[in-house]
Amino acid sequence: MLEWITGKKVEIIFNEKIFTGSTKKTVLQSAIENKIPIRYNCGSGVCGQCAITLNSGEVKSNNKILLACQCYPDSNINISQKV
Q: What are the structural domain ranges in the chain?
A: 10-80
Give pTM, 2 decimals.
Answer: 0.90
Q: Which residues pair with 21 in a beta bridge?
A: 10
Q: Is 68 helix (H, G, I), strand (E, B) or coil?
A: coil
Judge whether 75 and 11 are in contact, CB under 8 Å.
no
pLDDT band at 56 (very low <50, low <70, confident <90, very high): very high
pLDDT band at 1 (very low <50, low <70, confident <90, very high): low
Spatial separation of the C-alpha atoms in residues 32 and 76, rounded to whole Å: 17
DSSP assigned state of 16:
T
Going by C-alpha positions, the residue among 3, 81, 83, 37 that lies closest to residue 71 is: 81
> What's 10-80's CATH class?
alpha beta
